[in-house]
Amino acid sequence: SQQGEEDPQALSIQEGENATMNCSYKTSINNLQWYRQNSGRGLVHLILIRSNEREKHSGRLRVTLDTSKKSSSLLITASRAADTASYFCAHVTTDSWGKLQFGAGTQVVVTP
């Protein structure tokens, strides 16, 4: 399977703390993306990092990519209760046309 794996499966933190989740993949990629899903809803794109980039920021989000280790991490700083959701990484392999391979996701719960 070309699907990625995410770690941890679940994460429970308090408001104001940082949340870090990791994603690993198996093949060469064009880019890696992170999505957020609120319960029972569709996914929302958060950030995309290309294979030649090492770090990217968007607001309270920081994504890193290590292609030598085939891994990425998503950091949410100063978390809020509204950040409670599942977070998925997805990657586009170099041998597939735009087909995203999704990981199983990390379920994040932020308590006030």
Partner 1 sequence: DGGITQSPKYLFRKEGQNVTLSCEQNLNHDAMYWYRQDPGQGLRLIYYSQIVNDFQKGDIAEGYSVSREKKESFPLTVTSAQKNPTAFYLCASSFPGQGTEKLFFGSGTQLSVL
| 28 contacts partner 1 (rule: CB under 8 A) | no
User: Where in 59-98 is the site for partner 1 (CB under 8 A)?
Assistant: 88, 90, 92, 94, 97-98
| 30 contacts partner 1 (rule: CB under 8 A) | yes
Q: How far is the CB of 45 from partner 1 (least distance, A)?
A: 5
SS3 track for the chain: CCCCEEECCEEEEECCCCEEEEEECCCCEEEEEEEEECCCCCEEEEEEEECCCCEEEECCEEEEEECCCCEEEEEECCCCHHHCEEEEEEEEECCCCCCEEECCCEEEEEEC
Binding site for partner 1 (CB under 8 A): 3, 30-31, 33, 35, 40-45, 48, 50, 88, 90, 92, 94, 97-100, 102-105
